[in-house]
Amino acid sequence: MAQANEGWTTIVTCPNGHDNPVNTLFCRECATQIVAKTVCVHGHLNDDDNRFCGQCSAPVAAPTPTPSQTGRWNVDPTTRHQYRYWDGEAWTEHVVDNGAFDTDPVPKPEPRPRTRAEVWLPRAAALGMTVVSALLVVAAFSTLQSIRKSEPTPATTAEPILAPQTPAPVPAAAPQAQQTTHQPGQFAVIGASCLPASRTAVTADKSVAYCEHVQGTEFFVWSLVRGEITYPTSADPSQLTDPPVAVCMEQTGRSPQDCIEYLQRPSDPGDGGR
């Protein structure tokens, strides 16, 4: 891949010699993939010696002298900083804010406090069952007393026929309208990091993506399925130490190398619930 400057426009050349804008991942003439030397978290191409992206100021230089193949900067899932470095197996202490490198240990997740509904619903359900049981006992006793009073003689005793009780239908919950935060030029990459509590986004193929938590990790990533993501088990075991790659493989069917390249594409970080 070659880079050149023509006036104020930086271009990249594909293996077949076609010129393309600097943020192009596939050639506009022959569709050949343009392999970047260094790609920032937003997908812009950079030279190997760049510390920060020349187009969006995101960090591109690895904080370690020998970074792993899957090591990369991502949106800080703790929201304490702009970016935090993922070394391929876990979040590290390396962070960046406004062009300044620093270190800040990853905070331990605090247990989520239970909501009022989670506290009182089990109690209300238990109380309701107790009340229903008591009413059934009273109703059965009253029925038995009525039967005994209506019996003319023991010889003419007849078993009462009780009509089956039909439970009242439970109204179905109204479907919630999906709300997207897609903006022109921004797409969610499945498995890429997103800000916690972000609303839904749209992938490049117009599928709805949800910002969900990966169970047992500190990751919040874009997912095709609503709800907390169970840590993928059908993916390549060698990739299970990298949750984004594992989620990508599980939900898109891509190979490990395809997911590594796919996760380098620009991804909407979400709005963090704002």
What confidence score (pLDDT) does residue 5 get? 42
Q: Is the pLDDT of residue 241 over 80?
A: no
What confidence score (pLDDT) does residue 60 get? 86
Provide the whole-model pTM: 0.42
Average pLDDT over residues 55-82: 87
pLDDT tens digits for 151-174? 665 555 555 555 555 555 655 544
Cβ pair 256, 236 in contact under 8 A: yes
Three-state secondary-structure class, residue 2:
strand
How many CA atoms are closer than 13 Å to the CA of 132, on its beta-carbon side?
A: 7
Q: Report the percent of the chain where pLDDT is more than 90.
A: 33
Cβ pair 248, 242 in contact under 8 A: no
Cβ pair 62, 90 in contact under 8 A: no
Tokens at residue 98, please?
Answer: 């406004």
Q: Indicate the average pLDDT of the chain.
A: 80
pLDDT tens digits for 70-117? 888 999 988 899 999 998 889 999 999 998 999 999 988 666 677 777
What confidence score (pLDDT) does residue 116 get? 74
